[in-house]
Amino acid sequence: MTRVLRTREELRAALASAERPVGLVPTLGWLHEGHRSLMRQARAENSTTVVTIFVNPRQFNRPDDFERYPRNEARDIGIADDEAVDIVWAPPVEEVYPPGFDTTVSVGAVAGPLEGAARPGHFDGVATVVAILFALVGAERAYFGQKDAQQVMVIRQMARDLALPTAVIACPTVREPDGLAISSRNVHLSAAERAAAPVLHRALAAARDQWEAGERSGEALRAEMRRVLVDEPLADVEYVSVADGVTLRELAVIDGPALLSLAVRFGATRLIDNVLLE
Ligand code: AMP
């Protein structure tokens, strides 16, 4: 049975007698197949698996997005139990940020473009909460989805710079049969928007195909993504990017690993996706 814990003290006590190594899976809840794949990998590689469920107010740059974020803790606990997770830590806000809390972890250049530019303060919120979770859990390994590729890079940078002893493991993006990356936010899509949403993956796949055929111009691949997206009237494109796979600087010419990524709105719902070229 999965143990559901609320306070730092309960977590500390449970971890004191936990079998090592410990694998950590941080989430915002509303668990789905993407989260399940992280839990399975954590369970396969560790003796104890800890899942955190915390809708972190500091990583939402818009209050309406935070309010609207889907929540169903009872269902989440059932899923964690189903995946044989040992511990779910689902704290109230004051257990993560006690009164007087006044520190921000702010990662540099890699947090600047793309999601960092589109969502000011987002990665400060992510880095700060993940630093706290790493400190509280003291896991040997922590698992993150490649679906949020820049997030993985930001957390890797933070863990390296702050000499945090938890290894950061990136796991492949889990998709619906039609290619749509699974996301908690997909629940907000109307039927028409859901039908249109696989255009993100089609745009990325079209650009990847061109890259595989030898195209190395960043602008040509950005144009290819826009060409596919423009045919979908419900898709409101926020950005398309062809960036260096290490620095995330936009590329004129692809001469090494590159990240194709995009952010597209369908009504009030904002979706992101990416493909790594290497
Ligand atoms: P979230 O609850 O959306 O913050 O996601 C928690 C973790 O699950 C993050 O590391 C995400 O990157 C990862 N994740 C979310 N969706 C997927 C997916 N479709 N495939 C793989 N990992 C995912």
Query: pLDDT tens track of the chain, all 278 residues?
Result: 999 999 999 999 999 999 999 999 999 999 999 999 999 999 999 999 999 999 999 999 999 999 999 999 999 999 999 999 999 999 999 999 999 999 999 999 999 999 999 999 999 999 999 999 999 999 999 999 999 999 999 999 999 999 999 999 999 999 999 999 999 999 999 999 999 999 999 999 999 999 999 999 999 999 999 999 999 999 999 999 999 999 999 999 999 999 999 999 999 999 999 999 99
Does 35 qualify as catalytic in the annotation?
yes
Mutate to test the pocket of ligand 1, among 33, 51, 119, 148 (most ligand atoms within 8 A of CB): 148
Burial category of 9 from C-beta neighbours within 10 Å (exposed 0-12, middle 13-18, buried 19 and up): exposed
Residue owning the nearest CA to atom 17 of ligand 1 = 34
CA of 141 to the centre of ligand 1 (A): 16
Residues 6+ apart with CB under 8 A from 177: none
Structure tokens at 182: 């699974």
Q: What is the pLDDT of residue 6?
A: 98
Residues 6+ apart with CB under 8 A from 121: 58, 59, 61
> pLDDT (tens digit, 9 = 90+) per residue, 118-176?
999 999 999 999 999 999 999 999 999 999 999 999 999 999 999 999 999 999 999 99
CB of 273 within 8 A of CB of 150?
no
Q: What is the pLDDT of residue 56?
A: 98
Q: What is the pLDDT of residue 30?
A: 97
CA of 34 to the centre of ligand 1 (A): 6
For residues 216 and 157, give the distance between their C-alpha atoms in angstroms, rounded to a whole number.
Answer: 27
Q: What is the pLDDT of residue 92?
A: 98
Output phi, psi for 137, to 5 deg.
-90, -35
Output phi, psi for 4, to 5 deg.
-105, 120
Neighbours of 81 (CB within 10 A): 14
| Global confidence as pTM | 0.98
Structure tokens at 71: 């929540």
* 185 CB within 6 A, ligand 1: no
Q: What is the pLDDT of residue 239?
A: 98
| b/e 245-275 (16+ beta carbons within 10 angstroms → b) | beebeebeebeeebbbbbbbebeebbbbbbb
CA angle 231, 32, 114 (to 5 degrees): 50
SS3 24: strand
* 48 CB within 6 A, ligand 1: no
DSSP per-residue letters across 97-146:
S-TT--------GGGSSTHHHHSTTHHHHHHHHHHHHHHHH--SEEEEEG
